């Protein structure tokens, strides 16, 4: 039979249970703090590596602002010269924020792109992570060819039935290119 529901018992019971649970959570948080940091760094490093040409060393995180927003980017250095930039670029897709890592050469040419996080529809917009026919179109765009969907007067073919996702993806890439171009102007 359960303990009687007097005010004292209820207070005592809830307080104790919450204290123990808080202690367990604190312990778990402390235990996983470093592994989580490590795992997130690995994901970031892998995505930077995937969008940049090979070789060179990656700089620490830097920030630039463009169009009223702050972008995080990384420089790939070979010697003192910047070989390429990896720009983290986020836009709003169909289901929420679509975050990309975009590799851009100093002259504003797109090298490669990769999805960091998305909430697009599985089977439709979510294909933007895997559909090579869509992703490969971005390589080489930038300096003279603008990064736009064909429907908007550009050269990029959208993923079938996922125009909003494709447009968000394209905008994210195009923003990243503009960030790199604005960096060049400053220097």
Q: Which of residues 134-173 bind other proteins (CB under 8 A)?
A: 161
Q: What is the C-alpha to C-alpha distance for residues 118 and 180, in angstroms, rounded to an integer? A: 23
Tokens for 81, please give them: 């010269």
Smaller CB separation from other proteins, 121 or 146: 121
- Reference 59, options 72, 42, 69, 43; nearest CA is 72
Smaller CB separation from other proteins, 44 or 105: 44
- Reference 93, options 170, 147, 153, 146; nearest CA is 170
| 50 contributes a contact to other proteins by CB under 8 A | no
Tokens for 118, please give them: 């998305």
Least distance to other proteins from the beta carbon of 123, Å? Answer: 3
Asked if 83 and 77 touch (Cβ cutoff 8 Å), the reply is yes
Least distance to other proteins from the beta carbon of 1, Å? Answer: 8
Which one of the spans 22-30, 49-57, 84-92, 139-147 is the region binding other proteins (CB under 8 A)?
Answer: 22-30
Asked if 184 and 85 touch (Cβ cutoff 8 Å), the reply is no
Least distance to other proteins from the beta carbon of 46, Å? Answer: 10
Tokens 């367990």, located at residue: 24
Q: What is the C-alpha to C-alpha distance for residues 133 and 135, in angstroms, rounded to an integer? A: 6
Smaller CB separation from other proteins, 68 or 123: 123
| 32 contributes a contact to other proteins by CB under 8 A | yes
Smaller CB separation from other proteins, 130 or 187: 130
Q: Which of residues 59-88 bind other proteins (CB under 8 A)?
A: none
- Reference 92, options 120, 114, 67; nearest CA is 120
Q: Which of 18, 50, 81, 151 binds other proteins (CB under 8 A)?
A: 18
Q: Which of 24, 50, 81, 151 binds other proteins (CB under 8 A)?
A: 24
DSSP alpha helix (H) spans, the chain: 7-51, 132-135, 163-186
Binding site for other proteins (CB under 8 A): 1-6, 9-10, 13-14, 17-18, 21, 24-25, 28-29, 31-32, 35-36, 38-40, 42-43, 117, 121-124, 161
């Amino acid at each position: 039979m359960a303990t009687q529901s007097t005010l004292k018992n209820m207070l005592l019971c809830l307080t104790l249970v919450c204290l123990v649970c808080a202690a367990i959570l604190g312990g778990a948080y402390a235990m996983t703090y470093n592994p989580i940091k490590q795992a997130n760094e690995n994901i970031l490093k892998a995505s930077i590596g995937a969008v940049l040409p090979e070789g060179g060393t990656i700089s620490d995180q830097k920030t630039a602002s463009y169009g009223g927003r702050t972008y995080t980017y990384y420089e790939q250095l070979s010697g003192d010269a910047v070989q390429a930039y990896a720009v983290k670029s986020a836009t709003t897709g169909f289901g929420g924020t679509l975050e990309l890592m975009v590799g851009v050469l100093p002259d504003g040419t797109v090298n490669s792109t990769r999805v960091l996080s998305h909430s697009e529809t599985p089977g439709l917009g979510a294909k933007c992570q895997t559909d090579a026919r869509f992703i490969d179109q971005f390589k080489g765009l930038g300096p003279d060819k603008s990064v736009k969907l064909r429907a908007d007067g550009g050269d990029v073919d959208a993923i079938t039935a996922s125009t909003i996702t494709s447009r968000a993806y394209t905008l994210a890439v195009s923003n990243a290119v503009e960030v790199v171009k604005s960096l060049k102007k400053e220097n």
